Each structure stands twice: as C-alpha cells, then as structure tokens.
Structure 1
Amino acid sequence: MTSTQNPDVVAPTAATATTPAASVRPAAPVAPAASVAPPSIHVRALLTWLAIFPLVTIGLTLIAPFAEAWPPVVRALVLTLVVVPTAVYLVMPFLLKVRGGLHGRRAARRG
C-alpha cells in the first residue's frame, strides 16, 4: 500500500512544509509614509457641514413630493438613512482626500 492509499500517512503540504533558514530573507525596510496631520476640529466641522448641507438639501427636495403627508420624524428618519451613510462613506473620504492634496501642495510650496 502506498502513502497515497494509506489514510494514516499524511503527505506534507505547502502549509506544513518547512523552508530552510538560508532561503528566508528579511523583509526590506519600508520608508515611512508621509504623514499628514489630522485636521483640526474646526476643519472637521467645516468639512462635515460641506458634506451634510448639500445632501440634506437635495434629499429634502427629492422626497418632498411624496413625503408631504409623512410625520416629520418619519421624514427625518428616511432622510438620515440615506444622507448619513452617503456622507460618511462617499463624501467625507472625498473631502478629506481633497483637503490632504491641498495641504500637501501648501506644504510643498513652503518647504
């Protein structure tokens, strides 16, 4: 009976095979990424407002025709269910990226 037929014999796999120590290479040093200081609380407030205000305005305009009879709490619920994720996952990352680019240009001009 060969090892392929014997269920008690386990052939080495890539996960269980060992590599000789001579073939292991240390990781190449990685240069630290250029870090951009996080925006101040005032800049974050401005960016949040820039994200939220247009989304709320557009959202209210779009739901107004069919949500006129809805109670205000339901209107607010529906609006925020759309506006908050859109702002958090789409608009804010874009605004932070734009802010980082502008901040980087300003630092390059100074430096």
Structure 2
Amino acid sequence: MTNPNHHPSPKPSQVVAGPPTKHQLALMIWLAVFPTLTILNLTLADWLSTLTPVLRTFVLATIAVPIVIYGLMPQLHRLRTRILARSAGR
C-alpha cells in the first residue's frame, strides 16, 4: 500500500527553490512593475493625459496588476528557479 502523504524526493539534478526572500521578491516586483507602467504610460499617454491623476492611476493599476501578477511574475519565478538551479549545480 502506498502512502498518500509520501512525496518523491527531488532528483539530484532538480533543485526545489523555496519562496523568494523579501529582497528577491521586491526586485522581482520592481522588474515586472517598472517596465509595465513605462510601456502603458508611453502607449496610453495621449488618452491618459485627459484624466485626473487619481483616475489615471486607477486605470494604470487596473491594467498593470493583472499583467504583472498573471503574466510576468510567474515567468520571473521560473527564471529565479533556473538561476538557483544553475548556481546549485556549480
């Protein structure tokens, strides 16, 4: 009978990366947010200029947050895992 709570050990070539440190997460968020907001500001500049600062911020956040959370952060987490695996293999 197999134990349902048993998880196979990672292979030696597999590195299990724990959660990022606060500093790593801060860098990852910055790397995702800054370019996203820059591109959105440049792309929507004419339309955004007609809005009040609060409404402009609301529109930017409404567009940027899903891009960052669902699009960019998963890629940055995978990149971090690959970097950690590469440095662990040295």
Question: Quick check: TM above 0.5?
Answer: yes
Output the CA distance in 2 between the equivalents of 1:73 and 1:88.
22
**SS at 1:65 equivalent:** helix
Identity of aligned residues (%): 33
Q: Which runs of 5+ in 2 are unaligned?
A: none
Q: Superposition pairs for residues 28-107 of structure 1, below 5 Å?
A: 30-33=7-10, 34-107=15-88
Aligned length: 84
What code does the residue aligned with 1:27 have? T
Instruction: Give 1:27's aligned residue.
Output: 2
Compute the TM-score of the two structures, normalised by the length of structure 1: 0.69
Q: Which of structures 1 and 2 has the bigger CA Rg?
A: 1
What code does the residue aligned with 1:49 have? W
The worse-fitting range, judged by mean Cα deviation, of 88-97 and 65-74 is: 65-74
Output the CA distance in 2 between the equivalents of 1:54 and 1:61.
10
Output the CA distance in 1 between the equivalents of 2:7 and 2:80.
26
Quick one: structure 1 residues 30 and 39, their matched pair in 2 at CA, closer, same or farther if it must change by over 3 Å?
closer
Compute the TM-score of the two structures, normalised by the length of structure 2: 0.83
Query: Greater helix share, 1 or 2?
Result: 2
Deviation at 1:65, TM superposition (A): 1.1
Provide the aligned C-alpha RMSD in A.
1.6
Where relative contact order (Cα < 8 A, 6+ residues apart) is larger, the structure is: 2
Q: Which runs of 5+ in 1 are unaligned?
A: 1-25
